[in-house]
Chain A
């Protein structure tokens, strides 16, 4: 029985203008976006390779360890292949970082230099599903029951010996499938398109991540589909059902997630960049105040004093930064928690972290840069002590200088490769979001089901 109803629903959907239009729209948008972003990825990959080569060449040709210590090293993360589908924070994550052992790490210019990139969000898979997909989901379901009621087919169907839940389930499955099939097909064609036209390819853990992105999208779209279904059960006219679902859609998709982070920024205050900088310099001054009275001390005493001061400075600075990071994290979390009132936010957070371009990735990069900085300083110290050992016993100054100032082997510098947050971790972090989406699905389906059980066919 269910199958008969399902096939009927599917057929009814396939014949509509709505289905044809949404197929075309999804196909053009998803394939077009994957192609355009694939070209962009290709360009960035080329630029990245070039930068990498140039850095190694420079190291091998002309950089000795003193220069490197002084100038630091400029590093960047390789472009993320999944950014073709979800740009997320990639624009921030892909900046170059200059890491010197003495100064604070500084970020380079955004690789997306055009200021128009700031004005408009990227037209990626995430964006298309988040806004357009959810709208289409509503369009597919808003008249599922009320429309059939209006034209009388519902009465006809119910005159057959079919349980109501089967009718509702068939309605849900038929509409949902006719929305999801073109979407998934277009996304996969988009992937193939990007792979064929550019040097793009998904490798290793990217494939399950991509599947995960499709899965979360399916869950998210189902929320809106079920919402519109519930609205169509509880309203008599399809136009009312459309208005109600549309209202909820605007608030959920266009209002809450966009307002929440700004509210959080205004409500949960963090110390400004200026205060942090001045507190750091205060710490430095306090730590080194003991160094003022070094006259009359011998070298060893002075060195001991300096080491003590440096240790004190490092300890207090890291305490300060840890406190700052904690407060920043609290601000971020306040924003995300508030935004999670809307399934759109849950969807975006979950998908962005699956793509390795989410908020977790950003904090992970911060931690990694600190670690890399320490590794870099260690590597330089190692190179220096190596060279010093080599020159021991050599009297000739020029010969010594030649060894000391010889270029560095690029392999001696640690490789900058921020680890991707592992998929298991992403899944664990994304639990809240996925649970929220599942819950909303359940709630709306229940509302639709209870409403349909009591549905009055006569009126």
Chain B
């Protein structure tokens, strides 16, 4: 019985123009998006490798470890394989960091970039699911019950000895399949496109994340479809249903997630970035002031000293400077860390506030599972700092005692053994664990809305 009903639902939707349009849109948009982002990713990757070797060449030209320490080593944001599906925070224009022995590095912006990308959201799989498909889910579900009631077929159907629970279940399954199947097709074609590109290294972990993200996407579609079904059961006419659903879509997919960070600014204010930059500036000025006074006093004391005494004095001076640098580094690190802790809290609050919308939960879950989300950003910064420690240690060891008054080059300057910046994405287990709440919320939403639709339909007046 259930099967017959599902087949009926499925056939009905297959015959409709609406279904064809939705399926076509879903597949075409999905394929175009993966295709374009694949090209984008491979040019990003090429740029990244190219830049890395250029930066290394530049570092070789410095000619001395002290110069290397001062000028620093440039590091680019490593492109993430998953940005082919979920662009996430990789959209940022902050792409290059300079790692020196100074304060904590971060990726910084550049004026010599193309800002056009920032005017629109990127049409990645995330956008397609969260915005387009969630709208299509409403578009497919709005008249499943309301429409049949208007045309009278619902009355006819219920005059047969079919239990209502089977009818609504069949409506859910049939309608959901007509939405989910095109999406699965789009995903499969996307997967094919990704695996056929030789320069996109999708590892086993990435594929597992892909499957997980696909499941979460299907969950979101289930939530949206259930909401649509509920409204369709309760609405008096299908036109009321579609209008109500459109307003809901606007709120859930377009407004609530976007308002989150602005509201969080009010609820959990953090100091302005300018203030943080000012504090750091103050600390770094301290060191340069001290350096200047020390340097001029030393020059005065050096007059009339022998060569050996001079170099002893110079050594002392350098030690003092190194100590001061360490102090200042600690102080600036504290400023930055404090800021980052507050920022993290604000981000968490923004997430809590926006979780009323399943779309927001979906965005958090899928970007973090694809390692292109907020957690990825934090992890990236942390590994940049680990790299800074390695860099400082390496330069310190290589420069050793050194000699001379700076300026000149090191005779044995060789940075072939300089550690490379490496970033590895979070383990799959951790990713899943961190986004457990969001996934469960989606599941809960799906079940709750389906139950509501179910119960409403059982009590519905079909006449």
Question: Chain A residues in contact with chain B, CB under 8 A?
Answer: 17-18, 21, 24-25, 29, 32-33, 36-37, 39-40, 43-44, 46-48, 50-51, 54, 67, 70-71, 74, 76, 88-89, 91-92, 95-96, 105-123, 127, 131-132, 135, 139, 239-240, 243, 246-247, 250-251, 254-255, 257-259, 261-267, 269-270, 272-278, 281, 285, 324-325, 328, 331-332, 335-336, 339, 345, 348-349, 352, 359, 362, 365-366, 369
Which of A40, A71, A74, A348 lies in contact with B265, CB distance below 8 A?
A: A40
Q: A76-B274, A91-B118 are in contact. List 9 more A-B contacts (CB 8 A).
A: A50-B272, A89-B119, A115-B377, A123-B259, A255-B123, A275-B50, A275-B51, A277-B58, A359-B116
Given contacts A88-B119, A107-B110, A359-B116, contact A25 B247 (CB under 8 A): yes
Q: Please determine whether A254 and B363 come into contact, CB atoms closer than 8 angstroms.
A: no
Q: Please determine whether B18 and A239 come into contact, CB atoms closer than 8 angstroms.
A: yes
In this complex, what residue of A is CB-closest to B249? A135
The residue in B25, B109, B114, B116 that gathers the most chain A C-beta atoms within 10 A of its C-beta is B116
Q: Please determine whether A261 and B114 come into contact, CB atoms closer than 8 angstroms.
A: yes
Q: Please determine whether B115 and A108 come into contact, CB atoms closer than 8 angstroms.
A: no
> Which B residues between 269 and 301 are near A, CB-CB below 8 angstroms?
269-270, 272-278, 281, 285, 288-289
A371 and B363 alpha carbons, distance in the complex (Å)? 42
B260 within 8 A of A: yes
A331 to chain B, nearest CB (A): 5
A88 and B116 alpha carbons, distance in the complex (Å)? 10
Q: Please determine whether A36 and B374 come into contact, CB atoms closer than 8 angstroms.
A: no
B265 to chain A, nearest CB (A): 6
A264 to chain B, nearest CB (A): 7
Q: Please determine whether B111 and A123 come into contact, CB atoms closer than 8 angstroms.
A: no
Q: Please determine whether B109 and A110 come into contact, CB atoms closer than 8 angstroms.
A: yes
Q: Residues of A contacting B250 with CB < 8 Å?
A: 25, 29, 132, 135
A43 to chain B, nearest CB (A): 7
B405 within 8 A of A: no
Q: Residues of A contacting B367 with CB < 8 Å?
A: 119
B160 within 8 A of A: no
Which of A113, A255, A278 lies in contact with B273, CB distance below 8 A?
A: A113
A299 to chain B, nearest CB (A): 19
Q: Please determine whether B117 and A275 come into contact, CB atoms closer than 8 angstroms.
A: no
Q: Please determine whether B277 and A254 come into contact, CB atoms closer than 8 angstroms.
A: no
Q: Residues of B contacting A278 with CB < 8 Å?
A: 54, 57-58
Q: Please determine whether A40 and B273 come into contact, CB atoms closer than 8 angstroms.
A: no
A139 and B250 alpha carbons, distance in the complex (Å)? 14
B85 to chain A, nearest CB (A): 14
B3 to chain A, nearest CB (A): 28
> Which B residues between 362 and 402 are near A, CB-CB below 8 angstroms?
363, 367, 373-374, 377
Top 10 A-B pairs, shortest CB-CB distance: A274-B51, A274-B54, A47-B272, A258-B123, A107-B109, A266-B39, A261-B116, A123-B258, A120-B258, A51-B274
Scan B104-126; emit 1 where CB is below 8 A from any A CB, else 0.
Answer: 00101111111111111111000
Q: Residues of B contacting A24 with CB < 8 Å?
A: 247
Given contacts A120-B258, A359-B116, contact A274 B343 (CB under 8 A): no
Given contacts A132-B250, A139-B243, A272-B50, contact A36 B263 (CB under 8 A): yes
Q: Residues of B contacting A262 with CB < 8 Å?
A: 36-37, 40, 117, 122-123
A333 and B244 alpha carbons, distance in the complex (Å)? 40
Which of A105, A120, A255, A258 lies in contact with B260, CB distance below 8 A?
A: A120
A183 and B455 alpha carbons, distance in the complex (Å)? 38
Q: Please determine whether B265 and A119 come into contact, CB atoms closer than 8 angstroms.
A: no
Q: Please determine whether A40 and B262 come into contact, CB atoms closer than 8 angstroms.
A: yes
Which of A36, A71, A135, A240 lies in contact with B246, CB distance below 8 A?
A: A135
> Which B residues between 62 and 118 are near A, CB-CB below 8 angstroms?
74, 76, 88-89, 91-96, 106, 108-118
A108 to chain B, nearest CB (A): 6
The residue in B25, B92, B258 that gathers the most chain A C-beta atoms within 10 A of its C-beta is B258
Q: Residues of B contacting A276 with CB < 8 Å?
A: 112
Q: Please determine whether B273 and A109 come into contact, CB atoms closer than 8 angstroms.
A: yes
Q: Please determine whether B243 and A96 come into contact, CB atoms closer than 8 angstroms.
A: no
Q: Residues of B contacting A120 with CB < 8 Å?
A: 121, 257-258, 260-261, 363
The residue in A247, A262, A267, A270 that gathers the most chain B C-beta atoms within 10 A of its C-beta is A262
Q: Please determine whether B116 and A335 come into contact, CB atoms closer than 8 angstroms.
A: yes
A84 and B367 alpha carbons, distance in the complex (Å)? 28
Q: Please determine whether A92 and B43 come into contact, CB atoms closer than 8 angstroms.
A: no
The residue in A18, A29, A259 that gathers the most chain B C-beta atoms within 10 A of its C-beta is A259
Can you identify 9 A-B contacts, CB atoms within 8 angstroms?
A36-B259, A76-B274, A108-B274, A254-B123, A259-B32, A262-B123, A273-B112, A277-B55, A366-B111
B311 within 8 A of A: no
Q: Residues of A contacting B264 with CB < 8 Å?
A: 114, 116
Q: Residues of A contacting B21 with CB < 8 Å?
A: 243, 246-247
